[in-house]
A and B are shown apart, each in its own frame.
Chain A
Amino acid sequence: MSIVYFMAQQTMYFTIPLLIVAIGGLFSERSGIANVALEGIMVFGAFCGIYSLSHIQNSIHSQLALLLALLIGGISGLIFSALHAIASVSLKADQVICGTALNIFAPAFAIYIARSVQTISHIGFRDEYIIKKVPFLGSIPIIGDFLFTNCYITTFIGFAVLAASYVVLYKTRYGLRLRACGEHPAAADSLGVDVYKMRYSGVLASGFLAGMGGVIYVVPTSTSFDAEVGGYGFLALAVLIFGQWKPMRILLASLFFGLMKTLASAYSTIPLLAAIGLPSGFYKMAPYIATIIALVFTSKKSQAPKAVGTPYERGQK
Chain B
Amino acid sequence: MARYKFKWLSSAGAASFASSLAAIALGLLAGFAILLISNSSMALQGFATILNGGFARGAKSFGLVLYQATPIIFTGLAFAFAAKAGLFNIGMPGQFVIGAFCAIYASVNFSLPAPLRWIACILAAMASGALWAAVPGLLKAVANVNEVISCIMMNYIGMYLANMLIVKSNIYNAAKNLTVAPGVFIPTYGMEKLFVDSGANIGIFVSLGVAILCWGLLQLTPFGYELKVCGLNRHAAKYAGINEMRCIVAAMAIAGALAGAGGGFLYLSNAGKYMTVVDVLASEGFNGIPVALLALNNPIGVFFSGIFIAYINVGGLYLQRYGYVPEIINIVISVIIYCSALSSSIGKLLFERKGVEADL
Q: Chain A: residues with CB nearer than 8 A to chain B? A: 83, 87, 91-94, 96-98, 100-102, 104-105, 107-109, 111-112, 115-116, 231, 234-235, 237-238, 241-242, 279, 281-282, 284-285, 288-289, 291-292, 295-297, 299-302, 304, 311
Contacts and interface: CB of A to CB of B under 8 A. Distances in A.
A279 B334 CA distance: 40
Contacts of A235: 152
Interface in B35-58: 38
A96 B149 contact: no
Contact-size category for B: 35 or more
Interface stretch (B248-256, B299-307, B336-344): B336-344
Contacts of A94: 341, 344-345
Interface stretch (B95-103, B104-112, B140-148, B199-207): B140-148
Nearest to A242: B149
A138 B286 CA distance: 44
B95 to A, nearest CB: 15
A284 B162 CA distance: 12
15 contacts: A93-B345, A97-B344, A107-B330, A108-B331, A111-B325, A116-B325, A234-B90, A235-B152, A279-B164, A281-B164, A291-B153, A292-B145, A295-B139, A297-B143, A299-B145
Nearest to B294: A97
Given A100-B289, A101-B337, A295-B139, A112 B331 contact: yes
B172 interface: no
Contacts of B156: 231, 284-285, 288
Contacts of B349: 92
Contact of A91 (B90, B157, B328, B345): B345
B325 A115 contact: yes
B351 interface: no
Contact of B290 (A104, A111, A112, A285): A104
Interface in B323-360: 325, 327-331, 333-335, 337-338, 340-342, 344-346, 349
Nearest to B333: A104
B145 A238 contact: no
A296 B281 CA distance: 24
B160 interface: yes
A104 B330 contact: yes
Can you list the 6 inter-chain pairs with the closest CB atoms, starting with the nearest?
A281-B164, A108-B330, A105-B334, A97-B341, A101-B338, A101-B337
A167 B143 CA distance: 32
Given A116-B38, A289-B157, A296-B139, A96 B328 contact: no
A276 to B, nearest CB: 16
B113 to A, nearest CB: 35
A90 B342 CA distance: 10
Contact of B153 (A91, A98, A292): A292
A257 B352 CA distance: 44
- Main secondary structure on A side of the interface with B: helix
A98 B338 CA distance: 5
Interface of B: 34, 38, 88, 90, 139, 143-146, 148-150, 152-154, 156-157, 160-161, 163-164, 168, 279, 281, 289-290, 293, 325, 327-331, 333-335, 337-338, 340-342, 344-346, 349
Contacts of A234: 90, 152
A212 B345 CA distance: 31
Given A285-B160, A288-B156, A241 B331 contact: no
A295 B338 contact: no
B161 A281 contact: yes
B98 to A, nearest CB: 13
Contacts of B143: 295-297, 299-300
A231 B152 CA distance: 9
A197 to B, nearest CB: 20
Contacts of A282: 164
A102 B334 contact: yes
B152 A93 contact: no
A109 B331 contact: yes
B234 to A, nearest CB: 12
A45 to B, nearest CB: 17
Contacts of B148: 237-238, 241
Given A92-B349, A238-B149, 11 more contacts: A91-B342, A94-B341, A100-B289, A105-B338, A107-B330, A108-B329, A279-B164, A297-B143, A299-B145, A301-B144, A311-B345
Nearest to A239: B149
Contacts of B149: 237-238, 241-242, 291, 295
Nearest to B338: A101
Nearest to A297: B143
A107 B168 CA distance: 34
Contacts of A115: 325, 327
B157 A93 contact: no
A101 B335 CA distance: 7
B150 A295 contact: yes
Contacts of B161: 281, 285
A112 B150 contact: no
A268 to B, nearest CB: 16
B292 to A, nearest CB: 10
Given A91-B345, A93-B342, A108-B327, A100 B152 contact: no
Contacts of A237: 148-149, 152
Given A108-B330, A234-B152, A241-B148, A284 B345 contact: no
Contacts of B293: 96-97, 100
Nearest to A295: B145
Given A231-B281, A300-B143, A91 B335 contact: no
Contacts of A302: 144, 146
B29 to A, nearest CB: 15
A108 B145 CA distance: 32
Contacts of A289: 153, 157
B290 to A, nearest CB: 6
Contacts of B157: 285, 288-289
A292 B146 contact: no
